[in-house]
Amino acid sequence: MSLAEISSANDAHVVAVAHNGKLESEVCANEISDSEASQHVDSDHGRLPYPELLQALTLEEKVALLSGSDFVRSTGIPRLDIPPLKIVDSINGVKGSDLHHGTPTAVFPSSTLYGSTWNNALMEELGACLAQQAKLKSAQVILGPTINIHRDPRGGRNFECFSEDPLLSGQLAAAIVRGIQSQGLAACPKHFACNESEFKRRSYDVAEDYNGRTVREIYLAAFQELLRGCEPAALMISYNKLNGVHTTESPFLKDMLRDEWKYNGCLVSDWFATKSTAASMNAGLDLEMPGPTVFRGQRLIDAVRDGLVEEKAVDESAARVLALVEAARSSVSGAPERSEIRPETNALALRIASEGIVLLKSDHYVLPLDMRRAPKIAVVGVPATEPVISGGGSASAPPQYIQRPLDCLREAHPVPSLIQYVRGVNTNRIVPTVPLAQTMSQTGEPGFDIAYYNSGCDEPAYTERQAVPVVAMVRDLKPGLEETGFRYEISTTITPASTGVHTLAARVTGAFLLFVDNELVGSLSEQAEVSMEDFLFEPARLEHRISVPMVAGKSYHVRLVTNARIPKENDYEPTPHGAVLCYEEYVNERASIAEAVQAASSADVSIIFAGRNHEYESEGFDLVSNSLPDAQVKLIKAVAAVSHRTVLVLNCGNPINVSPFVDDVDAVLNAHFPGQEGGQAVTDILTGKTNPSGRLATTWPKQFDQEHVPSFDHFPARLTDDGYKIQYAEGVQVGYRHPGVERTAQWQFGFGLSYTTFEYSELVISEVAHASITVSIGVKNTGIYPGHEVVQAFVVPPKANVWRPARELKGYAKVWLLPGEARRVSIELQKKDAFSYWDEAIKQWKVEAGTYRLVAGPLSEAWTVEKEVTWSGR
């Protein structure tokens, strides 16, 4: 998390929608308020060489370097021409610094889709493009990739991570980092470590030893694989505790990261994750974010003078911050943020989405659709016209435009009028904001009037008119407001489009009054404690709904009055103040489903768009259920019951419980959260322009219970006498490593269908050098479509002294083949990595002697290890 995400917590994003391939957008610019950045542009002349800077700094200046200056910037030292660095999210869309009205950006797919590409080269290309996007935002450090593991399918932030497998996660992340840093920017992968759940993430204790086998083989292994493939300029340290100690002050930062793995990059706290002065410094945490500082500054100076922290520790951390500055100095800019729609960027976003979408089921030759025959198509579902492009939180960014699936399908159809669209049932978890088109402000134009009053005053201290009914303030209050007490009012006139009992809702951080035509219809006398997490990421916790009878065409004046919360005394975070006015007209679910059934019954094929959006999957909270809402399940089953052929397109980051309807439909496409080009990518796959090549990076279970999901009864954190704790009771049996996975999985890790077929032949293992072997296998495209095949190399261990998974991924390669084309694919494996497990007794990796089998596709070959080996390090 960083507080740059506040823009994603409100509904203030204005995007262009792509209609028939034509983009309507405006270039937006946000001026950088920190004038200090511009002082360092083009100022290399006379600058001290990096090694000499440390000696030239005073203690106060060195300490200043070790904390942020604001929400998104480190601290610069103008005297020595050390610039502040602008630090932004994310690898799914690079955001700017404005907390409420973010500059639009190219929005790429979610990381679960990245994981499903199995394409390192493509990820490196993505990294280079992200760096260029960051330069448009005058940013120097990109927070990401997120490489925590999909331990449980309810993890709220799983969509932002790659996979259940540490090798796949680490290698894809390393490729992105290499791409970012090749352009003169710095990457900051996150969150180190064991941060696989959102519930109570700031305080829960993962009650495991970092030298335990489970932590080493699953959760730390992803970071270990990352560091084998790149040298990130920084790493973000997580909120949680590990074995009773906050990771930001844990000895494993030095013992493992620094000493064992020899990593010497900058260690950055997650936002507000620093919990101490001396303990975090002595553990090796270099940079406290965000600013202004809480635990550094004068507290750290005093700790040095009192002997609690050695100045040597300050010097070492300052040196690493300076190294981070040096790594990104060439990209420092004082230019305003801007958004540029670039054809090459759009093409890359489309290619990535196309390679990561997974075809999970395709029966009765329903796909690809033969558009030459001009089929009559029923398109059903809200996401067809209101696309789901990303999850919530850090990975959410304001898009430059969005390709709508319905528009793309009509463009691909020779007779667009043969496509009938039916909206179906509501898919939102929270009430949406009042539609601008149904409002009128005091000026007579669409919009919302917002007034801010100090306590006891009848005259507003500040007024504004907005296109969205949103108030969001964190540290910076509106001009004229006094922190001792104030209120704010959002008002507009709403004209309903239909008659019925409609829903008004207030999403507020304080007590509120809601008036309709000056009549009080809803109120809250005292709001419960609101955390920054709720404010940013889980608006459902702040929502209060009121049912109001309304008549179509009649105008209603609506006013929401919210009282500010009294700021709490909290060192760790500021007090959020916010209000959102929401409105939704009644929708008859039964009638909506009946309309969809009528359209489907007369169509050649029905395409249903369903799934979850950022209101269900987000940073800040975990999923309660993996099932779709009942209304969506009813819609899918009803349409499939009458449709000649049914295709289901699912948007999700986490696996969905498909058991109620998977046998009712003919095809299932896992579209993930596919970014701003997702609608085009889905259309290209449905129509056969693109051959699907995505392979699952995470297992989809048949059911969601302890039998099918080994972590189920131990997720999320449980309250104990010592606070909230997580135990990895399932051990290393995560995802496909579960011994019963063939029985319990709906679709296994690595699964994905293609429109063509592939044949494997002649698996050969050869020793390249003393430390490595090469697995070589022949692959031939035996079908009629060109396409990608993902060759996955697994190692099957011999009987060992400890339980080991039946197979583990140790390498992979993606190859493009024309019909009839054959190639040999080679995958190099390091022996020590391929055959080892973590031995807790000796706290080292161990390769036991014996005969291992290497498996690729349907083929396998034996490889014998003659002598036991132990090792440590990366």
Active-site residues, by number, are: 270
Residue position matching structure tokens 């440390």: 54
d(CA 201, CA 207): 13
Place of tokens 């459902």: 540
Q: Which of 87, 242, 91, 260 is nearest to 174 (CA)?
A: 91
Q: Are 2 and 89 in contact (CB under 8 A)?
A: yes
Total Cβ atoms within 10 A of residue 517: 12
SS3 assignment for 607-664: EEEEECCCCCCECCECCCCCCCCHHHHHHHHHHHHHCCCEEEEEECCCCCCCCCCCCC
Give the DSSP H/E element, type plus range, for residue 361.
strand 358-362
Contact 461, 453 (CB under 8 A): yes
Written as six digits, the tokens of 780 are: 């031939």
Instruction: Decide if 582 contacts 543 (C-beta within 8 A).
Output: yes
The four Cα atoms 631, 632, 638, 639 give a dihedral, to 10 degrees, of 140
Q: Which residues pair with 422 in a beta bridge?
A: 380
376/421 Cα distance (integer angstroms): 11
Beta-ladder partners of 621 = 618
Of 85, 51, 76, 77, nearest to 315 (Cα)? 51
Read off the tokens for 685.
Answer: 């796959």
β-strands 605-611, 377-380 pairing:
parallel
- Whether 516 and 561 have beta carbons less than 8 Å apart is answered as no
Q: Give the pairing of strands 87-88 and 358-362.
A: unpaired
Residue type, 129: C
Residue 271 vs residues 79, 293, 336, 340: alpha-carbon distances, Å = 27, 11, 24, 29
Map residue 8 onto helix, strand or coil: helix
Task: Identify whether the C-beta of residue 693 lies closer than 8 Å to the C-beta of residue 813.
Answer: no
Residue with tokens 């034509």: 22
Are residues 345 and 353 in contact, defined by beta-carbon separation less than 8 angstroms?
no
Separation between Cα atoms, residue 112 and residue 671, nearest integer Å: 10
Contact 512, 579 (CB under 8 A): yes
**Alpha-carbon Rg of the chain, whole angstroms?**
27
Listed in sequence order, the residues at least 6 apart from 619 whose beta carbon sits closer than 8 Å to its beta carbon are 1, 5, 156, 157, 160, 198, 391, 392, 393, 394, 395, 536, 537
Structure tokens at 301: 């100076």
Q: Is 13 exposed, middle or buried (0-12, 13-18, 19+ CB in 10 A)?
A: middle
Identity of residue 497:
A
Chain length of the chain = 874
* 303/310 Cα distance (integer angstroms): 8
Residue 446 in tokens: 């669409």
Residue spans of alpha helices (H) in 182-220:
213-214
Cβ-Cβ contacts under 8 Å for 541 (sequence gap 6 or more): 530, 534
CB atoms within 10 A of CB 526: 8
* Closest alpha carbon to 504 in 580, 446, 608, 409: 580
